């Protein structure tokens, strides 16, 4: 029997997380041991390699790609945002071949299994939770080897409705899983798009926590399972030999058991695999000792769900890890000092009766961003069958596609969801419980926040700390001036938002501290990545030669540039200023304190050369300009 597994399209331009679909590759290896022939169609990779494939005639491309594998059974997986695409491809396949068996799986389909079978007659089965044993037994059933009544974790139609026997953690141990079937994919196309040469790696499953908004307790069951340490080290070495250079440990919380997590780190460090990696972690577990082991083992980044900042959010989401900015800052500093970059996720409270909680979450996220951390600004996604979704079960849902259009990197087929128009409660990325007008301002505000937090974080920091400014009022004011952001072409949205901010803050009355931060960031902003070097004639004594001048600015500052990166108010007084050279080199802006007599020369190089066109440069200074990279030889 032939099984084709389908990874639907999800991304378009952002290749940071691009990797082969690990869950499907593991499932393929598991059922192949039972004699099933498996093919894999990764539509996400195809769409990122060729945008036209996923945008023009996509449905025909998708059906043809699956049909070429000549399947008896087709299985689709989905986290949620692309679920409707799976359903529609399945419908088209069934129209073409009514005898084809269609199976849905993954966290989202598992959480809406009964409704999916009720609403979509072309769907035959839905696999819930861990899919390996369920899919193996389902394939046996379809070959007449196992009766329908013996199936576990497989939702199916029965005379009296939908039949399902649910068992969480069906595997006795994760060591029962085979090595993923990487023979089903070519790795180089993934590596060509994602030069980190990333592969996902599953050393364990589950999480010991039970946050109310999370799929993990529903999908895996609370608690965790982990492979043997020796096997983990062996598989990491195998993946390195296959060409991977960075891994994402996908378990929902790597340090579920701190002693075991530290043992894994120490074994990886001893093996000296050469691999770097990142993982999920939780704030209580980020102790100095554990971070030492992570760094020694090659961990270079951690994803941390700060999530709930306000007391109301902590109660609603059953998550009270955040204990104030100072304690969070200590954790972040401990990570950064060891070369581990945290990405902090925040659940942003919607501005309802007031925006106090909204500002608290936004300000904390901004502080983390200024420190040099990555941030995620989440508007609550009510994943089906989670505690949060059940609590809001009776609240009406409205259809909206604003989140996939504005906050996610998605192709057009993801953005419009006709199935959600009919049943918005089933599709968390295409629905909201908020008033639609409030939701639009909220999502537009988050889009603005991403733009401005990335470009002008230190200006906003001083605006909050010194001026007492409200981030939400600022963002909401811009959102109202913009109106419908979806009417603006995607490539123009962030440039438009930056120009709106620049125009506003040039005219706004703000504190001297905020103004100094603004002047610095404007200078940095003008040193854009796409500014090409200029050809400049330089006269040293009587010799005139041409050099390339890198993009730079000269700026008078009353503080060292590093002082602007501290999460603290700048000095109130107008201290004496010193000239600084701001130079973009190798994608980064570097800062050099310079002498007053150098400023004139740099001003000439910027564009104020004498009438004869050549910039006079002292012989001793020429060497310095070449060493710093202001000038390079033509």
Residue pLDDT, tens place only, 398-419: 999 999 999 999 999 999 999 9
| C-alpha distance across the termini of the chain, in Å | 64
- pLDDT surpassing 90 at residue 211: yes
Q: Are residues 289 and 158 in the same domain?
A: no
- pLDDT surpassing 80 at residue 427: yes
Final residue before a domain boundary, out of 140, 163, 186: 163
- pLDDT surpassing 60 at residue 609: no
Q: Are residues 503 and 587 in the same domain?
A: no
Per the domain annotation, does 255 fall within a domain?
yes
Q: Are residues 202 and 58 in the same domain?
A: no
Distance CA(589)–CA(37), nearest Å, equals: 53
- pLDDT surpassing 80 at residue 139: yes
Q: Are residues 87 and 107 in the same domain?
A: yes
Distance CA(209)–CA(257), nearest Å, equals: 12
Q: Are residues 239 and 339 in the same domain?
A: yes
For tokens 């861990």, name the residue: 130
CATH number of 300's domain = 3.80.30.20
Confidence label for 612 from pLDDT (cuts 50, 70 and 90):
low
CATH number of 25's domain = 3.40.50.280
Q: Are residues 502 and 628 in the same domain?
A: no
At residue 610, the pLDDT reads 59
At residue 191, the pLDDT reads 98
At residue 532, the pLDDT reads 81
Mean pLDDT for the stretch of residues 483-501 = 96
Mean pLDDT for the stretch of residues 273-280 = 97
Q: Are residues 513 and 575 in the same domain?
A: no
Q: Are residues 512 and 617 in the same domain?
A: no
Q: Are residues 505 and 542 in the same domain?
A: no
At residue 634, the pLDDT reads 85
Per the domain annotation, does 370 fall within a domain?
yes
Mean pLDDT for the stretch of residues 569-586 = 86
Domains held by the chain: number = 4
Distance CA(374)–CA(308), nearest Å, equals: 17
Q: What is the SS3 assignment for 541?
A: coil
Confidence label for 625 from pLDDT (cuts 50, 70 and 90):
very high
At residue 56, the pLDDT reads 85
Mean pLDDT for the stretch of residues 382-408 = 95
Per the domain annotation, does 439 fall within a domain?
no
Distance CA(120)–CA(98), nearest Å, equals: 14
- Which helix (H) or strand (E) segment holds residue 125: the answer is strand 125-127
Name which of 113-117, 212-216, 294-298, 441-445 the model is least confident about: 212-216
Mean pLDDT for the stretch of residues 606-621 = 78
pLDDT digits (tens, 9 = 90+) for 144-202: 999 999 999 999 999 989 999 999 999 988 999 999 999 999 999 999 999 999 999 99
CA-wise closest residue to 277 among 289, 265, 262, 263: 265
At residue 218, the pLDDT reads 82
Per the domain annotation, does 575 fall within a domain?
yes
Per the domain annotation, does 450 fall within a domain?
no
Residue 566, domain extent: 534-633
Per the domain annotation, does 435 fall within a domain?
no
At residue 487, the pLDDT reads 95
Q: Are residues 232 and 340 in the same domain?
A: yes
Q: Are residues 10 and 155 in the same domain?
A: yes
- pLDDT surpassing 70 at residue 608: no
State the average pLDDT for the chain: 95
Mean pLDDT for the stretch of residues 484-500 = 96
At residue 104, the pLDDT reads 98
Per the domain annotation, does 27 fall within a domain?
yes
Distance CA(356)–CA(212), nearest Å, equals: 23
At residue 21, the pLDDT reads 98
Per the domain annotation, does 411 fall within a domain?
no
Final residue before a domain boundary, out of 474, 497, 526: 526
Final residue before a domain boundary, out of 330, 351, 383: 383
Between strands 341-347 and 246-249, the pairing is unpaired
Backbone angles phi, psi at 470, to 5 degrees: -95, 120
Distance CA(380)–CA(310), nearest Å, equals: 14
Distance CA(125)–CA(108), nearest Å, equals: 14
pLDDT digits (tens, 9 = 90+) for 316-369: 999 999 999 999 999 999 999 999 999 999 999 999 889 999 999 999 999 999
Q: Percentage of residues in the chain with pLDDT exceeding 70?
A: 99
Q: Are residues 374 and 323 in the same domain?
A: yes
Mean pLDDT for the stretch of residues 524-537 = 84
């Amino acid at each position: 029997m032939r099984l084709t597994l389908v990874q639907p399209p999800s991304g378009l331009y952002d290749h940071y997380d691009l990797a082969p679909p690990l869950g499907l590759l593991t499932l393929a290896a598991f059922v192949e041991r039972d004699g099933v022939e498996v093919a894999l169609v990764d539509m996400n990779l195809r769409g990122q390699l060729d945008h036209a494939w996923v945008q023009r005639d996509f449905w025909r491309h998708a059906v043809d790609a699956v049909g070429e594998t000549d399947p008896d059974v087709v299985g689709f997986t989905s986290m949620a945002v692309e679920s409707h695409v799976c359903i529609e491809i399945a419908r088209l396949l069934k129209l073409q071949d009514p005898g084809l068996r269609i199976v849905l799986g993954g966290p989202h389909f598992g959480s809406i299994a009964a409704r999916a079978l009720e609403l979509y007659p072309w769907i035959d089965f839905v696999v819930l939770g861990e899919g390996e044993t369920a899919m193996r037994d389902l394939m046996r059933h379809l070959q007449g080897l196992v009766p329908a009544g013996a199936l576990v974790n497989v939702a199916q139609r029965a005379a009296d409705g939908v039949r399902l026997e649910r068992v969480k953690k069906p595997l006795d141990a994760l060591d029962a899983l085979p090595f993923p079937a990487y023979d089903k994919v070519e790795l180089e196309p993934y590596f060509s798009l994602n030069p980190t040469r990333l592969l996902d790696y599953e050393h364990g499953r589950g999480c010991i926590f039970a946050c109310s908004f999370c799929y993990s307790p529903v999908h895996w069951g609370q608690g965790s399972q982990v492979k043997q340490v020796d096997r983990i080290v062996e598989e990491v070495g195998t993946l390195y030999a296959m060409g991977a250079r960075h891994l994402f440990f996908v378990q929902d919380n790597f340090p579920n058991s701190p002693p075991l997590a530290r043992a894994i780190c120490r074994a990886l460090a001893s093996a000296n695999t050469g691999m770097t990696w990142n993982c999920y972690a939780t704030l209580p577990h980020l102790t100095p000792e554990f971070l030492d082991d992570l760094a020694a083992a090659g961990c270079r980044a951690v994803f941390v769900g700060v999530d709930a900042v306000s007391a109301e959010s902590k109660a609603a989401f059953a998550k009270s890890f955040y204990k104030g900015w100072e304690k969070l800052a200590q954790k972040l500093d401990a990570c950064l000092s060891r070369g581990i970059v945290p990405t902090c996720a925040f659940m942003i409270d919607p501005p309802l009766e007031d925006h106090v909680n909204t500002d608290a979450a936004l300000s904390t996220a901004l502080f983390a961003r200024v420190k040099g951390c990555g941030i995620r600004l989440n508007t609550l996604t009510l994943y089906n069958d989670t505690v949060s979704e059940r609590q809001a079960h009776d609240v009406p849902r409205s259809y909206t596609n604003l989140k996939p259009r504005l906050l996610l990197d998605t192709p057009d087929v993801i953005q419009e969801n006709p199935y959600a128009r009919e049943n918005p409660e089933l599709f968390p990325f295409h629905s909201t419980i908020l008033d639609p007008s409030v939701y639009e301002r909220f999502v537009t505000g988050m889009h603005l926040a991403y733009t401005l937090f990335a470009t002008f974080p230190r200006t906003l920091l001083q605006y909050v700390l010194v001026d007492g400014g409200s981030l939400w009022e600022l963002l909401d004011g811009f959102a109202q001036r913009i109106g419908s952001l979806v009417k603006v072409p995607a490539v123009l949205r962030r440039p438009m938002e930056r120009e709106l901010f620049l125009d506003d803050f040039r005219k706004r009355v703000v504190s001297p501290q905020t103004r100094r931060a603004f002047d610095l960031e404007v200078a940095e902003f003008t040193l854009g990545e796409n500014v090409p070097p200029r050809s400049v004639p330089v006269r040293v004594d009587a010799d005139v030669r041409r050099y390339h001048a890198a993009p730079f600015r000269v700026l008078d500052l009353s503080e060292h540039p590093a002082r602007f990166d501290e999460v603290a108010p700048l000095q109130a007084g107008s201290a004496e200023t010193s000239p600084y050279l701001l130079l973009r080199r190798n994608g980064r802006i570097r800062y050099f304190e310079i002498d007053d007599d150098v400023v004139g020369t740099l001003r000439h190089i910027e564009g104020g050369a004498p009438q004869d066109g050549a910039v006079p440069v002292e012989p001793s200074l020429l060497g310095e300009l070449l060493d710093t990279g202001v000038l390079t030889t033509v």
